[in-house]
Amino acid sequence: MTIDDLRQEIDRLDSALLHIFNVRASLALQIGEVKKKLALPVYDPAREKRIFARMKELNTGPLDDQAIVRLFERVIDESRRLERIMTTRDGKEKGEGTACSSS
């Protein structure tokens, strides 16, 4: 395979990643909504640990487990950041104070 062939294949995978990142973030937002209704805490460190443990368990490489954890840390972090942005925006639209509204 030439460099161009390999890059085309990477571009295809990147499009799939982009799609999954966004669908995953939407699902995380939905979980945030349900938690809010049930008055559950948003941050759940035990759930994150289970995600990392499951990914390490399933990881076959070539990326090592530390790389996989760093990647999923970023994925989870971006969902959390989005949730903060949305909460702040919703709060402002509704004229409510929120935990994030001072930032």
Contact residues toward a copy of itself (CB under 8 A) are: 1-3, 6-7, 9-11, 13-18, 20-31, 34-35, 47, 51, 54-55, 58-64, 67-68, 70-72, 74-75, 78, 81-82, 85-86
What the block records as the tokens of 30 is 């939905």
Of the pair 54, 99, the CB lying nearest a copy of itself is at 54
Say if CB 69 and CB 56 are below 8 A apart: yes
Question: Could you tell me the smallest distance in angstroms from the CB atom of residue 97 to a copy of itself?
Answer: 23
How wide is the angle at C-alpha 49 spanned by C-alphas 45 and 54, nearest 5°? Answer: 150
In what helix (H) or strand (E) does residue 58 lie, and over which residues does it extend?
Answer: helix 45-58
Of the pair 8, 97, the CB lying nearest a copy of itself is at 8
